[in-house]
Amino acid sequence: MTGDDLPLLRTAVPGPVSRAWVDRLARHECPAITARRARRAVAIGAADTDPIVWDEAVGANVQDADGNVFVDLCSGFGVASVGHRHPAVVAAGQAQLARLPHAMGDAFPDVRRIELLERLTAATGMDRVIFGSSGSDAVEAALKTARVATGRGRILAFTGGYHGLAAAPLAAIGYHVRAFRDPFADMLGQHVDLAPWGGDLPALQPYAAVLVEPVQGRGGMREPPAGWLEGLHAAARAAGALVIHDEIYAGLGRTGTFLAGRALRPDLLCVGKALGGGFPISACLGTSAAMDAWGASTGEAIHTQTFLGNPVGCAMALAVLDVIEREGLVARAATEGAWFADALAGVPGVRAITGRGLMLGVHLDDSLGVTRRMLERGYIVLPCGERAEALGLTPPLTTSRAQLAGAVAALKECV
Ligand SMILES: Cc1ncc(COP(=O)(O)O)c(C=O)c1O
């Protein structure tokens, strides 16, 4: 596959090869994962045709096991911001694999990791970093840091917020709370209060931190009302609580600015997803004031992991940051996102467009049915929002105008 501009459907979606893979998958994968996928397929009326099985990807295109080519309007959950299989990122990963695939994190670090620490802090205006392998890892590191830095344990988070499903972030999500959190409620800390997203703030208790996505992703690709985030910062400062920006989805250029929180400087900042260009790596960054509190711990490194700051992930992340800069992808997200939002808003049946840059929610009726029909036309989209009230569009920042225009034309047929 070389990266066709437009989807090229060679068979019905999906064909027999994909089907055979799905049957093998269902035999061995834990139902925690398979059951949800199967439920979604039934819900969208595509039990025989969903999922497609990915085999190869390049740029914004994905090819399934049957040879169908799709345009990925999700960037693989927001990961492929620089495009799938970007040559510079792949080359960096391959070179690092051939040289040093693993080091010893907090005991014996490697050079790529040190380079990435310098690069990430310079790019974000933060001072210190804790690496992780997933978004959940980064949020967990931020929550622990807030505890250590303030001596307090309560967290304020928001309805619709999604921060990952490992135990610490799970306790703080406000998205699909009943489905994600309730089954584990008695294993989770009761230290989180939820406030309405974009609404009035409660009197800020002695919170350790306020955990917020500057632009919400899974909760519906939505920005808070103008001035709300600034008010939140001011209230948190006044109450002595830290502010954690979860930019795992929105960060690194997606919203048309390098960080979705723009000029607002949080105490702690989480990035992940797009950072590794497909390699699982994340980071919790912080100000010295917040992070240096860890210095008080004695003996063991009290927050560490085997794969923390893996050299291949660091090499690929350095390449991703280069590509974002070299290819002007932040500005591209702003201009292409504005064009895309405008074109989508003109599709009959679309009620509203939310979000910013190339992080857009398309609000319409029957988003589940539209998701299926878009897939049949070669466009991979996911619903978003608590009631699946919108399509969430987060294509690679490199997606061509022809691909975006093709998606708009397909949507016209699907709504
Ligand atoms: C804003 C946000 N935070 C955290 C996470 C969790 O990341 P991960 O799934 O890598 O643990 C996600 C994942 O979708 C996310 O969108």
Do 157 and 297 belong to one domain? yes
**Any ligand 1 atom below 6 A from CB of 164:** yes
For residues 156 and 244, what is the distance between their CA atoms, to the nearest angstrom?
10
How close is the Cα of 72 to the center of ligand 1, in Å? 18
The reply to whether 254 falls in a domain is yes
**pLDDT tier at 106 (50, 70, 90 boundaries)?**
confident
How many other C-beta atoms lie within 10 A of the C-beta of residue 184?
A: 12
The reply to whether 184 falls in a domain is yes
Which pLDDT value is given to residue 254? Answer: 98
Do 353 and 250 belong to one domain? no
CA-proximal residue: ligand 1, atom 16 (nearest): 249
Which is more confident, 107 or 315? 315
**Any ligand 1 atom below 6 A from CB of 398:** no
Least confident among 39-43, 100-104, 371-375, 377-381:
39-43
The reply to whether 6 falls in a domain is no
Pocket test for ligand 1, best of 162, 216, 271, 281 (most atoms within 8 A of CB): 162
Which pLDDT value is given to residue 316? Answer: 98
The reply to whether 2 falls in a domain is no
The reply to whether 195 falls in a domain is yes
CA-proximal residue: ligand 1, atom 7 (nearest): 135
- Phi/psi at 55 (nearest 5 deg)? -125, -30
The reply to whether 1 falls in a domain is no
How close is the Cα of 303 to the center of ligand 1, in Å? 20
Do 317 and 336 belong to one domain? no
DSSP 8-state assignment for residue 3: -
**Any ligand 1 atom below 6 A from CB of 246:** yes
CA-proximal residue: ligand 1, atom 13 (nearest): 164
How many domains does the structure of the chain reveal?
Answer: 2
- For the chain, give the percent of residues with pLDDT over 70: 95
DSSP string for residues in 377-410: TTEE-EEESTT--EEEE---TT--HHHHHHHHHH
Do 112 and 196 belong to one domain? yes
User: Sign of dihedral through CA atoms 103, 106, 108, 114?
Assistant: positive
**pLDDT tier at 105 (50, 70, 90 boundaries)?**
confident
How high is the mean pLDDT of the chain? 93
Domain residues for the domain of 405 are 16-72+328-414
**Any ligand 1 atom below 6 A from CB of 354:** no
**Any ligand 1 atom below 6 A from CB of 247:** no
Q: Which of 292, 326, 360 is the last residue of a domain?
A: 326
The reply to whether 79 falls in a domain is no
Do 202 and 309 belong to one domain? yes
**Any ligand 1 atom below 6 A from CB of 105:** no
What CATH number did the domain enclosing 204 receive? 3.40.640.10
- Please compute the mean of the pLDDT values over residues 210-231 and round it to a whole number: 97
The reply to whether 261 falls in a domain is yes
Position 38 pLDDT exceeds 80: no
Do 237 and 131 belong to one domain? yes
| Ligand 1 atom having least distance to the Cα of 273 | 10
Position 157 pLDDT exceeds 80: yes
Do 152 and 243 belong to one domain? yes
**Any ligand 1 atom below 6 A from CB of 134:** yes
